Structure 1
Amino acid sequence: MKATLVFRYFWPETVLMNDIARWLVEAGHEVEVLTGQPDYRPHLKMPRQPPRSVWNGATVRRLPLLPERGYGLVRAVNGLLFVLLASAAIVFGRRRDVVWTTSIPPVVQALALLLAARLRGARFVYFLQDIYPDIAILMGIMKPGLLSRLLVALDRFVMNHADVVVVLSDDMIDVVRERGTRPRRLVSINNFSAQEPVGERAPGNEGGPARFLFAGNVGRFQNLSTLVDVFARVDPGIAVLDILGEGREKAALEARVRDEGIQNVRFRPGVSSEEAFALMAQYHVGIVTLRPGLYRFAYPSKTFSYLAAGLPVLALVEPQSALARDIEEHRLGVTAPWDVEMDRLVDIVVDMAARWRGASTVESGRPLYSREAARSRWLDLFGTLDTGQGHSSDISEQDRGGAER
């Protein structure tokens, strides 16, 4: 097949589309990537790439966008400009068999590319990594109203007309169904560790406090202010928390920790995904924290990096979530909802500091973070498109829980 993958970010940044492009080339497909310059994390200052290149057998076209220096208005404008240029490239470019894209930026990109693909007679794969506008409403970024209802209607249109809709969990499948959406095919394929797993380790014999790590975006979705509350009540000799990354909430959290004299919460600057993974081996427990209700609309991919690095996980999330079920089923750590008493959360941290610091999840977590398992599922999916099975309307229910764990 001739497959075009569309996402604004690509190698040398660490994104899932890198792997999908390489896998499709290895399987004998002709792959084109429409992307932009590497600026997802501006603080890393990655070098610019040529407008056209070949990467592991895939043809890469980097669409011209405005220069960016951060996360402000220009980034939003570039998001829309990228959608327009990518859609035009598909409408006026060569014939393609399949167009694949993600839900970033939300709704608009998938809608435009669906229409462009249909104009050229191509099949369309919609990778729904998070569900909007539901997340925005949950976080208070958007109020329920005419605009949110319009976005839901447009997203429902995209899902009903896509050949395949891929989500990350059964929780997300439930939300898609609750919307009254009936995609031709609805599949759950979760993400995976972007890095190869480390060897088995047992880092729990050295002295000092247990080291907990939160790695990722220091933003509004993570409930990090409450996490700081928890560690502020823990004896610094028992456990410390490092927050690794950048984001909108970082400056306020740093000021609070400094002003309140919290001794066991520290901040580390954002680094590349490869550097972050190497740092994880220095810790005992990785933390995943989501705002209440957020589990229904996304699945935190940092979980897989922790597991591949050998870290047991403390997941602060509702017990009915797919994330909590995965951790409990494979005995990968401890889960707790945010609505338990603060003293109980403190006890959980203290207990993990004592009981889990020598544990390793490299083998027990492999069914979840395995790149090979994800590769097989993505190639199987594209294989059904190649044979025309992707148009069958009776496959959706068979693929519920498609992570097959």
Structure 2
Amino acid sequence: MRILVVTQHFWPENFRINDIVEGFVQDGLSVDVLCGLPNYPKGEWFDGYSADGPFEEVYKGARVFRAREIPRKGNTGKTIFLNYVSWPLYAAGALKRLPGGYDAVFCFNTSPVLMCWPAIRYAKKHHIPFTNYVLDLWPENLYSVLPVKNRFMRWVAQSVSDSLYRRCDRLIAMSGPLQERLCARTGKSTADVAVIPQYCEDFYAVPQHDAALEAQFAGRFNIVFTGTFTPAQSLDMVIRAVLDARAAGAEHLHLLLVGDGMSREALQKQAADLHAGDAVTFYGSVPAADVPRFTALADALLISLSDSPDLGLTVPGKLASYMAAAKPVLASMNGAGYAAVLESGGGLVSPACDQKALADNMLALYRMADAERAALGAKAKAYYTAHYRRAELLKRLEEFTVKGV
């Protein structure tokens, strides 16, 4: 089988599609990738890349074809918008560079929804099935990052999103509620909209103890967050909750933020204004394979989302990696993610943006005996084993993508 994978974001950027492509190749599929030039999340070209390429590479057995894009430098509303619209246009022009002969097309559709448009064009022209893995539901996810208020612009975003989803042959949702929403918006049946949660790479389940790193943060109760900093994560509320918990008696509570994103500068200013330097550390981005060094030293792992009913339709991919680490999950979110943590018994969960409830849960974890926290971590790991294992979910992705071919 020959598969064309379409995704704006790809290696060396840290996205799970990197591992999916590697898995496809390991399972005997011939894979070509159409993607962008790496600049996420800072909007700066990665070392070795520029607006002039390179435009063709090989990644772990897959051929990579890159299309230009306007980088999201500064992460302003304007640069993010230009980045969102530029890559699909450049990618559509790059379709003619592809060697062809594919049996199916697969899109790993994070934001923006527009990135699936070149995939749809190619699949329709060559009469091959197209499967869209919906990681960020649009336009709802757009509004969690950019506060679009203009009614006409919101109508345009809704119309374009619905049109693109309808034109996909098959859709993959991360949860049952998202499946229901996609079926309602597209008129498709559940036979064409599968529920396949995001898995996590196997290395997340293997602790990496780093003596120097652990010594750096020793003597603290470390709550670790890993990932991207955007308004959708409500990290400003999390910082305030940390200070509330410390004031209530958790004097050694410490929030370790590992990652980067459009909200970093504002969050650092907030921490400085609140004199939270001892309570919060901004570590910066690390390669995905290094994340277990940080989860290994964590006393708890934090996941948070803003108070949006639409964000509650999805289960963030990081939840799988957190559970794989066998550490208590501290969740502040609604919907499918809330339900998963609650069902697992592997942590404490509070409603999205409820600062007091999150601070209370931080204090409760802080005061728990080590054995109690270890028991929560064990339950989280058991839930990962039952629901988020790579081999099974990767196989389901492959079978659904090439179904009927």
Give the counterpart letter for 1:226 in structure 2: M
Q: Tell me how far 1:284 sits from its aligned partner.
A: 0.9
Larger RCO (alpha carbons 8 Å, 6+ apart): 1
Moved more, 118-127 or 206-215: 206-215
| Alignment check: 8 A CA contact 2:332 2:354 kept | no
Q: Tell me how far 1:291 sits from its aligned partner.
A: 0.6
Q: Tell me how far 1:50 sits from its aligned partner.
A: 4.4
| Alignment check: 8 A CA contact 2:9 2:36 kept | yes
Give the counterpart letter for 2:296 in structure 1: A
Give the counterpart letter for 2:91 in structure 1: A
Give the SS at the match of 2:148. Answer: coil
Q: How far, CA to CA, are the matches of 1:213 and 1:21 in structure 2?
A: 28
In the alignment, is residue 143 of structure 1 matched against residue 158 of structure 2?
Answer: no
Q: How far, CA to CA, are the matches of 1:340 and 1:67 in structure 2?
A: 35
Q: How far, CA to CA, are the matches of 1:200 and 1:92 in structure 2?
A: 42
Q: How far, CA to CA, are the matches of 1:65 and 1:248 in structure 2?
A: 18
- Aligned mate of 1:237, from 251, 261, 268: 251
Q: Tell me how far 1:287 sits from its aligned partner.
A: 0.6
Structure 2's unaligned 5+ residue stretches are: 210-216
- Aligned mate of 1:63, from 67, 81, 87: 67
Give the counterpart letter for 1:219 in structure 2: T
- Distance 1:18-1:354 versus aligned 2 partners, 3 A rule: same
| Alignment check: 8 A CA contact 1:168 1:298 kept | yes
Give the counterpart letter for 2:322 in structure 1: Y
Q: Tell me how far 1:214 sits from its aligned partner.
A: 1.7
Identity of aligned residues (%): 21
- Aligned mate of 1:375, from 364, 374, 394: 394
In the alignment, is residue 185 of structure 1 matched against residue 202 of structure 2?
Answer: no
Give the SS at the match of 1:33. Answer: strand
Q: How far, CA to CA, are the matches of 2:355 and 2:33 in structure 1?
A: 48
Q: Tell me how far 1:283 sits from its aligned partner.
A: 0.8
Q: How far, CA to CA, are the matches of 2:284 and 2:218 in structure 1?
A: 25
Give the counterpart letter for 1:47 in structure 2: G
Partner of 2:351: 337
| Alignment check: 8 A CA contact 2:200 2:389 kept | yes
- Distance 1:161-1:64 versus aligned 2 partners, 3 A rule: closer
In the alignment, is residue 350 of structure 1 matched against residue 363 of structure 2?
Answer: yes
Structure 1's unaligned 5+ residue stretches are: 387-405
- Distance 1:324-1:105 versus aligned 2 partners, 3 A rule: closer
Give the SS at the match of 1:287. Answer: strand
Give the counterpart letter for 1:189 in structure 2: I
Give the counterpart letter for 2:318 in structure 1: K
- Distance 1:30-1:323 versus aligned 2 partners, 3 A rule: same
Partner of 2:95: 90
RMSD of aligned residue pairs (Cα, Å): 3.1
| Alignment check: 8 A CA contact 2:35 2:66 kept | yes
In the alignment, is residue 363 of structure 1 matched against residue 367 of structure 2?
Answer: no
Give the counterpart letter for 2:342 in structure 1: E
> 1:212-238: per-residue Cα shift (whole Å, max 9, x none)?
112222221111122122111223534
Give the SS at the match of 2:112. Answer: coil
Equivalent residues in 2 for 1:394-405 (5 A)? Answer: none
The structure with more helix, counted as a fraction of residues: 2
Give the counterpart letter for 2:153 in structure 1: L
Q: TM-score, normalised by structure 1?
A: 0.82
| Alignment check: 8 A CA contact 1:103 1:129 kept | yes
| Alignment check: 8 A CA contact 1:315 1:334 kept | yes
Give the SS at the match of 1:221. Answer: helix
Moved more, 132-141 or 113-122: 132-141
In the alignment, is residue 114 of structure 1 matched against residue 120 of structure 2?
Answer: yes
- Aligned mate of 1:287, from 302, 306, 309: 302
Partner of 2:6: 6
Q: How far, CA to CA, are the matches of 1:187 and 1:159 in structure 2?
A: 14
Q: How far, CA to CA, are the matches of 1:322 and 1:150 in structure 2?
A: 28
Q: Tell me how far 1:254 sits from its aligned partner.
A: 2.2
| Alignment check: 8 A CA contact 2:8 2:115 kept | no
| Alignment check: 8 A CA contact 2:330 2:347 kept | yes
Partner of 1:39: 39
Q: TM-score, normalised by structure 2?
A: 0.82
Partner of 1:389: none
Give the SS at the match of 2:48. Answer: coil
Give the counterpart letter for 1:347 in structure 2: D
Give the counterpart letter for 1:276 in structure 2: V
Q: Tell me how far 1:188 sits from its aligned partner.
A: 1.4
Partner of 1:217: 228
- Aligned mate of 1:313, from 329, 333, 348: 329
